[in-house]
Amino acid sequence: MQGDRKARVAEVVRETLTEAISYGEVKDPRVSENGLLTITHVEVTGDLRLAKVYVVVTNGDAKEAIKGLASAAGFLRRMLSDSLSTKAIPELRFFIDDRYEEGQKIEKLLHEIAQEEKKPE
């Protein structure tokens, strides 16, 4: 049962933050003017007091975007208080999701292997 609640809270956090970023409610230019920012997933601790938010930034500076999100964390937590019915609103910590880059590297390698196999000997 606890796992279901964690998953529901994580999904609400992801949806709320995605909406806030997409609709330009975060005014920090490191977020709003720094390429395309996508929240890939959120992990919430068992006590629901911490949410680890993983993001991918396309065509921008990911480290600066993370700093901007961290700066806007208080504002984003206030937004979450409207969406969550928990005693405490989770603290937000932002991380670069490097799984996306790893997937891109693997896809490129597989493509190169396929091209090598097509070459006549």
Query: What CATH number has the domain bearing residue 112?
Result: 3.30.300.20
Helix residue spans in the chain (DSSP H):
2-22, 29-32, 62-71, 73-83, 99-118
CA dist., res. 43 & res. 45, Å (int): 7
Instruction: Give the number of domains in the chain.
Output: 1
| pLDDT tens column, 57-116 | 888 888 999 999 999 999 999 999 988 888 889 999 999 998 767 777 787 788 878 887
As a whole number of Å, the CA-based R_g of the chain is: 18
Mean pLDDT of 9-23: 93
| pLDDT tens column, 51-70 | 999 999 888 888 999 999 99
The burial of 27, by beta-carbon neighbours within 10 Å (0-12 exposed, 13-18 middle, 19 or more buried), is given as exposed
What's the pTM value of the predicted model, to 2 decimals? 0.80
Range of the domain at 97: 2-118
9 close to 41: Cβ distance less than 8 angstroms: no
